[in-house]
Chains A and B, each alone.
Chain A
Amino acid sequence: MDSSKDRILKIAVILLRVAMGGIFLYAGYVKLKDPWELFAAGIRDYEMVPNWAADLLAQTLPYFELLIGLLLVVGRFLRLSTVSVSALLVVFFSLMVRAFVQGKEINCGCFGPNELISWKTLVRDGSLLAVSLFLTVMAFRARRTSV
C-alpha cells in the first residue's frame, strides 16, 4: 500500500518537474524571441532596480530560465534547480503582488510583453510557486531518504 502511494507520488513529482521545466524553457524562449530592450522596459516598469541592472537582467535572465528549465526536464542537479526555481518565483510573485497592490497597470513580463498583471496572472504564478516549493521539498526529501 505504502509502496504504491510512494510510486504515485514519485510519478506526480516527475510529471510536475517536467511540466515546470517546460514552463521555464518556454518562458526563456519567448523572452529571447523578442528584443531584450522590450523585456528591459518591462523590468524597469516595476521600479525595483536601477536601469543598468534592469538591462543586465533582461539580457541574462532568459538564459538562466532556459538552463533551469533544462535541468528540471532532464532531472539533473535537482536540489540546485528546484531551489533556484523557488527563489526566482518568490521574487517574481512578490514583485507582481506589490505592483498589483500599488495599482500599477504594468505588464507581468512572465511570458512575453503582452500580458498585464491581473488576478489571473497572480493565481497562475502563485500556483507555480506552490508547485516549485513542493518540488524543492521533494528534492531534499529524496536526497535524505536515499542517503
Chain B
Amino acid sequence: MKTLALALALLLPCVAAVPEAEKGRTMGNPSAPLLFELYSDFMCPHCKLLHEQILPAIVLDYVKSGKAYLIYREYPLAIPSHVYAREAAAYAVAASRVGKYQEVSDALFRTQDTWGSNGAIWASIAPVLTPDERMKVKGLSADPGVLASVQRDVDRGRKANINQTPVMMITYRQKVQPWGNFGDYSLLRGYLDGLLKR
C-alpha cells in the first residue's frame, strides 16, 4: 500500500504537467519528456510553411520517437485579413471529433490560398471526408462545444502572451519556452537535443 502511495505521489507531477488537450488533436506519448503546444492559424502563410515543411521533421525526430508529446492549439488571429481563420479552426476541431484532424489540417493548409480568398472552406475539406463524416463535421462545426474549444485555445494563447503565429510552447521539466522562429530547423533541433541531454 505504501509503495502504491509512493508511486502515485511520484507520478502525480507528471500527470499534472500535461495540460488539457482534446484527444483528437494530439500526437505521441503524453508522458514524453518534452511537451509541444503548437499555436497555429490556418490562414497564416508561416503556419502553412511550418506545417508542410518543418513539422514532419519535428514529428519524426521527437514525437514518433517518444521524446515529445504534441498538442495542436487553434489560434485564429483576430485581424481583418484572417477573416475565415476562426471558421477554419472550427472545422478542424469538428474534424478532430471524427478522428480526421490531420487530414483536414493538411487539406486546409494545402488549399489555403483558395479558401483564404473565396471563403469556400467546406469545398476544400469535404474531399478528405467520407459522406458520413461530412454530415457529422458539418453539424459539429457550429456546435457550441466545438466553438468553445476554439475559444479555450485562443484564451490559453492570449494568457501565454502569444501575439503571432506559429508559436510552439516547448515545456521541459516544467520550464516553458515559446519558440516562434522555424526558418532553420537545425537551430530548434540543437536546442531540443541540448535540453534532452541535460
Contacts and interface: CB of A to CB of B under 8 A. Distances in A.
A59 to B, nearest CB: 12
A116 interface: yes
Contacts of A35: 177, 191, 194
A41 B184 contact: yes
A42 B180 CA distance: 10
Interface residues of B, number: 19
A40 interface: yes
A99 to B, nearest CB: 13
Contacts of B194: 35
A114 B190 contact: no
Nearest to A40: B187
Contacts of B163: 114
Contact of B184 (A34, A44, A105, A113): A44
Contacts, number: 42
Nearest to B188: A37
A37 B187 contact: yes
A38 interface: yes
A114 B184 contact: no
Contacts of B181: 38, 41-42, 45, 107, 113
B157 to A, nearest CB: 12
Given A35-B191, A37-B191, A114-B164, A107 B180 contact: yes
A38 B191 contact: yes
Contacts of B177: 34-35, 38
B178 interface: yes
18 contacts: A35-B191, A35-B194, A37-B188, A37-B190, A38-B177, A38-B191, A40-B187, A41-B181, A41-B183, A42-B181, A44-B183, A51-B184, A113-B179, A113-B180, A113-B181, A114-B164, A114-B167, A116-B164
Interface of B: 46, 161-164, 167, 177-184, 187-188, 190-191, 194
Given A107-B181, A116-B164, 5 more contacts: A37-B191, A38-B191, A41-B187, A114-B162, A114-B167
